[in-house]
Structure formats: structure tokens, C-alpha cells
Homo-oligomer: A and B are copies of this chain.
Amino acid sequence: MADAGATDGPVRPTPGAAVAHMPLSRQDVHLADGLLQQWQQRNRAASLPLALRQLEAAGNLDNLRLASSGANTGYRGPAFMDSDVYKTLEAISWELGRTGDSELADFAAEATALVAKAQQDDGYLNSCVQVTGRPRYARLESSHELYCAGHLIQAGVAAARSFNGGTLLGVARRFADHLVSTFLGTQGGLDGHPIIETALMELYRQTGTPAYLELASQFVDARGHGLIGDSGFGSRYLQDAVPVRELTALAGHAVRALYLESGVVDVAVETGDTHLMASSIARWEDMVATKTALTGSNGSRHSGEAFGDAFELPPDRSYNETCAAIASFHWSWRLLLATGDAKYADLMERVLYNGFGAALSADGQRFFYVNPLQRRADHFENDDPGRRREWFSCACCPPNIMRLIASLDHYIATLGGDVLYLHQLTGAQISAPVAGDMLSVDVTTRYPWDGSIEFHVRSAPGSECGLAVRIPAWCSGISASYNGQPVSAESDEHGYLILRRRWRPGDVLTCSLDLTPRLTHASRRVDALRGAVALERGPLVYCFEQADQQAGSVEDLAISSGALAERMISLPGVGPTVALEADALQLPPASDDGLPYLPQPDTSTGGRPATAVAIPYFQWDNRDGRAMRIWMPLSRSDSPATS
């Protein structure tokens, strides 16, 4: 297979891959006015320019300059500083695929030239190793050499798919060829931090070179046999305790575990390995059932940035690293393509609007690395009060956020057989090749704020084909109409409402999802959430910030009824949003006399009626740094009547 043209987004299975759906070409999906498009605009206008400044200030670019000049001193930052440059280049590539921002294009050209200059003659490239003089591949458990290579390769693929960026792809291929010649057929090359697996698979898809598939497959199967050196956290941390095919639950460092799964699925679909695929699906099912926060986030432990035990899901102390949300999104997308099951798009939606969405400030210039579901008053983690920050000494998250947002349009829709599937319900113009012709629709919606979604057919093939819209699992009420006539709104076994028609230009399919706010309870197995409820509306998880509570401390509120009201408010620094109001009791402050343990239940006596006000979680921490909580106690320990 020759190099693909500059038409693809991230994750492009080969024509022979064992997938149920194929992504659409990048020219065929354009986001229209709406939240996700606003995020992309903010990404270009605010976040990416910030990244360019920070990469200069933190030394990432200087490190590459040092490497390209052959310097042997002056390296700054952790070993994986190069990867932040590569992630930024990937973000810019997806961005330039849509827009022609000259500042970004100039940076991409300069940084690409710098990267190419820093690459060594045999294809090796790592500014930390080159400048510090450490031996290559000597401590792969912690050196991140193949991790950086993976991000370089992903950036090279993105450049090639977005603006024919052959230079960066060439650098990536030379490094990949070096890796093949160094590690293929050996037991070496297992990096402590996966991502090389999926990067090599994408490079294989881009170039058709079988050796990249072979090396990725080798890395996947070699993992779990204790071949990686000791990083100090043990073998589970590195996903090196159990072979991938035998592993039933994710453990260890969350981002590493989740990145590996994308590589696992890529290998499985390209090799038709159903056993490998089944193992990844089983781990996804386990993760969702036992290790996922209401916000869709993963990784319950600060210690080791790791997955916790099953049902260990504390709202206050869950780490929920932003990069883990991104990694989960990437994994679910691959499983969605492989299976066509809406549950994967459901989780992507939950991650997107909640665990991931909250990682960025409203102005796009501050970032969360850790995403808890609760922040107490006077919170501190070491010397950190738990607010978003402009950058980090370990800055993996910000450019990772940017590359996902820049590519969000690629994750909206797919083609499955002769059906155009809309997975993420957002305004867009979408076209897909069906029956030798194009099915083109305009999607109009204010989702996630409003549940109405309209499809206007612009052009259609002459034969019958399908339009499908995901029915979110949280949605209990839906209606649909075709050209004004009600049609069945039943979803199929995969979770989609599918309408098959001989479509004509001007046809209108309308779906209306019930966004009535709802109370959500936790499984009794989630010890940390017993006796508490959360508020959700559509795909949005809500939270109670201190700034919105008029009656007193958010720590002393308790929900007293299931009746929820909506109110449009304007959040300073954010803009208009849909707030929710719940009947509550404002309780007197807790006793500070003696241990917080009592011979009788701590009933909600002495409380006065109050209104608890909630805003979408993804919009929190845009005002002060005070308390926030998603899960709120019930004022009576039994459940309130739900409305």
C-alpha cells in the first residue's frame, strides 16, 4: 500500500482490518457552531499559542537545539520533554488540516526542521539521551525513549494526513526503521511507558510497511513477562506483571495501561486476532463496571498515578489524570470502530463533556493534571491548593488536551456498511461515501444544552441507505420524526436509532432526546459514595461549587428532594450556562468536639430549607478556589422521591 493521501484523521484502519465501522475522511466532517467547535476555536486562539510560549520557556525546544548542535550539557526537564513538542506538532497538524493559521504553520515548519536536524544519522532521536550522553535504551523502564518515539511517529502521521507534512513523516519513518532494525526479533525495546505500539500501527496504516505492524505486535505480546527493568513501582505499574492476553483488569499507571490498549486493539483489528480483541474488550468492560468515575475518568490513586482496586472510586482523592481521559477516549474509539457498539461512544461522550472537558479553563489557558470529583474547603495537596495551572514541570497533559481537541471532528461520525453513524451529537456538516455516491447531511443541534437534533439531507445516493444516531444510555425518553411524521425511536441492538430510506435532498430527520435533569446514585459497592447523589442533565455531570451556594457552606448541604429545576445563569468568566437547582437543607456546622464518630446516626437535625445550585462540572474552578463537590449527601439517608 502506498502512502495514503492527506485525507485521514487519527486511527485509519486498513481496508482489510476487522472493523465494523470506518472513520470518515477529514474533509468530510466539519463541526458547526456549538460547544465542540468553540473548544476547537479556543484551542487555536488561546491554548496552542500558550503551548508555543511554554515549549520555549520550559526548555523543550532548547533541548532539541542542543541535541541538533551536538551539545553535551544543558538539558532541562524530565526525560520526556521531546514528547511535549511532538504532541504540540500533532495538535497543530490536525489544526492546519482545517485552518491555515500562519503562526501555527510557521511554528510547525521551524519545529519540524529542528527535529529533523536533531535526528541522528541512524534515525535515533532523543534530546535527553543525546545531550546527557546516557547510553541508548539502557533504562527503558524509565527513559521514555520509545514513548517519545511514539509521539514523534503520531505527529509525523498527523502531519502527513493533514497537510502532506512529508518532512516530519520522514523523520518518524527513519526512527521507526531504526527501531525495527534494533528490536524486531529481539526481547528488547519494551518501554516503561507504552504508546509506541499504537504509533507503529498508525505508521503501518499510513505507509503499508509490514515491519511496523510486526514490531508493534511483538511489543504487545512481549509485555507482561517481567522483561522490563524495575522502575521502583513494580511490574504492575508497568503493565508487565501479566501477559496482555491473560490480563482481565487494568492495573498500575493508568495512562500507561490505557495507551497500551489502543495498541492492543490496533494490532488485533489489523491481524484479525479475535482472542486479543476479546481480552481488550473484557478489560474495558471491567474498567467501566468497577474503575470509572461518574465523570468517565480513570485512575483512583495519586500514589503511582494508578488504577485502584475494583470499586475504589473516591470522589475527593481520585487522581483521574487528564491524559488518562484522553487515552480512554482513544481506546474507546478503536473499540467503537471494531464493534460498532454505542457503549463505547457513550463512554467517549461521558469523558469528553466531563472528565476531559473540565481539564481546561474557560479561557483555554489553564489546565488540570488531576481531576477530582470533590475539592474540600482549604484543600491542599502538598503546597498545591488544587486549582488549574498554566503549565507543569511534567507537562504531558496540556499538549495532549490540545491534540485531542484539534482532532475532535474526526471522532464524530463513521460509516458502517451503507449507514452513516452520528456518534457525538453536535452540529456538523457530514458526508460519507455510500453506494458509489455521497450521503451528505447537515446536523443542527444545541446539544449538549438542548436535546433536539436535526439532520438535513443535502445530497444522497440513488439507493436506500441508513442514517443512524446514537441513543445515549442515560436517555430514557426519545422521539423522532421523518419529514415531520413520527417514526419509531427504538434503538437497535448496538444502541443506535437507524432510519433506512431512499433519502432525497431536503429530507429532515429529527430526534429529540429528553434532557430532564436526573438524580444519579452509586452502586452499593462504591463505598465512597454511599448515601449520596449526583445531578446529571443529558451528558453533563453537574457539581456544586461554593460560589453558587447562598445559604452557607457547600460542605453542610444535603439534598432533600428529587425535584430539580433548570435555570439559565451567566457564570462570570464562562458565560451563560444551564444551572440546576435542588431542594436542600443547610445544616449547622459539624461539631469539632472530639472524634467524628457517634453512637447514633448523624441525622440532619437543625437544618433549614435551602436551594442547592449546581453547574456543569466541566465549567468548575473558573471563579474562586473554594469547595466543590459532585456527590452530595441526601438529607434523609433513604432516597428522596424522584420527580
A379 at the interface (CB under 8 A from B): yes
A102 at the interface (CB under 8 A from B): no
Name the residue among A317, A520, A530, A595 with the largest chain B CB count within 10 angstroms.
A595
- Chain A window 268-296, contacts with chain B (Cβ cutoff 8 Å), 1 for yes, 0 for no: 00000000000000000110111010100
A343 at the interface (CB under 8 A from B): yes
A596 at the interface (CB under 8 A from B): yes
CA distance A289 to B592 in the complex (A): 5
A157 at the interface (CB under 8 A from B): no
Partner of A594 from the list B234, B473, B530 (CB cut-off 8 Å) is: B473
Partner of A289 from the list B237, B591, B600 (CB cut-off 8 Å) is: B591
Q: Which chain B residue shows the least CB distance to A627?
A: B309
Name the residue among A381, A383, A597 with the largest chain B CB count within 10 angstroms.
A597
Q: Is the CB of A595 within 8 A of B384?
A: no
Q: With A312-B376, A527-B631 in contact, is A301–B304 under 8 Å at CB?
A: no
A390 at the interface (CB under 8 A from B): no
CA distance A238 to B592 in the complex (A): 26
Q: Is the CB of B378 within 8 A of A521?
A: no
Q: Is the CB of A598 within 8 A of B521?
A: yes
A602 at the interface (CB under 8 A from B): yes
CA distance A372 to B237 in the complex (A): 21
CA distance A380 to B303 in the complex (A): 12
Q: Which residues of B contact A485 (CB under 8 A)?
A: none
Partner of A380 from the list B294, B309, B593, B600 (CB cut-off 8 Å) is: B309
Partner of A602 from the list B234, B236, B310, B522 (CB cut-off 8 Å) is: B522
- Chain A window 301-319, contacts with chain B (Cβ cutoff 8 Å), 1 for yes, 0 for no: 1111010111111111100
Partner of A531 from the list B306, B379, B531 (CB cut-off 8 Å) is: B531
Within the complex, the shortest CB–CB distance from A325 to chain B, in Å, comes to: 15
CA distance A234 to B532 in the complex (A): 34
Q: Which residues of B contact A473 (CB under 8 A)?
A: 594
Partner of A294 from the list B234, B292, B306, B597 (CB cut-off 8 Å) is: B597
Q: Is the CB of A376 within 8 A of B290?
A: no
Within the complex, the shortest CB–CB distance from A608 to chain B, in Å, comes to: 16
A446 at the interface (CB under 8 A from B): no
Q: Which residues of B contact A519 (CB under 8 A)?
A: 599
Q: Is the CB of A596 within 8 A of B314?
A: no
Contact segment of A134-142, A360-368, A400-408, A632-640: A632-640
Q: Which residues of B contact A532 (CB under 8 A)?
A: 527, 530
CA distance A343 to B311 in the complex (A): 36
A528 at the interface (CB under 8 A from B): yes
Q: Is the CB of A301 within 8 A of B288?
A: no
Q: Tell me the residues in window 315-367 of chain A with beta carbons closer than 8 Å to chain B beta carbons.
A: 315-317, 343
Q: Is the CB of A301 within 8 A of B315?
A: no
Interface of A, secondary structure class, is loop
Q: Is the CB of B637 within 8 A of A525?
A: no
Q: Is the CB of B234 within 8 A of A604?
A: no
Q: Is the CB of A520 within 8 A of B631?
A: no
Partner of A290 from the list B294, B525, B596, B599 (CB cut-off 8 Å) is: B596
Q: Is the CB of B600 within 8 A of A525?
A: no
Q: With A251-B380, A638-B601 in contact, is A313–B523 under 8 Å at CB?
A: no
Q: Which residues of B contact A315 (CB under 8 A)?
A: 527
Q: Is the CB of A376 within 8 A of B523?
A: no
A524 at the interface (CB under 8 A from B): yes
A619 at the interface (CB under 8 A from B): no
Q: Which residues of B contact A534 (CB under 8 A)?
A: 597
Q: Which chain B residue shows the least CB distance to A376?
A: B309
Within the complex, the shortest CB–CB distance from A130 to chain B, in Å, comes to: 26
Q: Is the CB of B601 within 8 A of A639?
A: yes
Q: Which residues of B contact A286 (CB under 8 A)?
A: 592
CA distance A374 to B521 in the complex (A): 22
A206 at the interface (CB under 8 A from B): no
A235 at the interface (CB under 8 A from B): yes
CA distance A427 to B606 in the complex (A): 45
Q: Is the CB of A594 within 8 A of B343?
A: yes
Within the complex, the shortest CB–CB distance from A101 to chain B, in Å, comes to: 38
Partner of A600 from the list B308, B384, B642 (CB cut-off 8 Å) is: B642
Q: With A292-B595, A521-B599 in contact, is A316–B310 under 8 Å at CB?
A: no
A129 at the interface (CB under 8 A from B): no
Name the residue among A294, A303, A558 with the largest chain B CB count within 10 angstroms.
A303
A1 at the interface (CB under 8 A from B): no
Q: Is the CB of B592 within 8 A of A285?
A: yes
- Chain A window 602-643, contacts with chain B (Cβ cutoff 8 Å), 1 for yes, 0 for no: 101000000000000000000000000001010011110010
A438 at the interface (CB under 8 A from B): no
CA distance A377 to B593 in the complex (A): 35
Since A312-B376, A523-B596, A637-B639 are in contact, a sample of 20 more A-B pairs with Cβ atoms closer than 8 Å, ordered by chain A residue number, is A235-B383, A306-B382, A309-B380, A310-B376, A311-B555, A311-B590, A520-B598, A521-B597, A521-B600, A524-B590, A524-B602, A524-B633, A525-B590, A527-B633, A528-B528, A530-B530, A530-B633, A530-B637, A531-B531, A600-B639
Q: Which residues of A contact B (CB under 8 A)?
A: 233-237, 241, 251-252, 285-286, 288-290, 292, 294, 301-304, 306, 308-317, 343, 374, 376-384, 473, 476, 518-528, 530-532, 534, 555, 558, 587, 590-602, 604, 631, 633, 636-639, 642
The 11 listed contacts between A and B (C-beta, < 8 Å) are: A285-B592, A292-B596, A311-B596, A313-B596, A316-B527, A476-B599, A522-B597, A522-B602, A524-B587, A525-B590, A637-B639
Enumerate the 4 nearest inter-chain pairs by beta-carbon distance, A residue then B residue, closest first. A234-B383, A523-B596, A531-B531, A530-B531
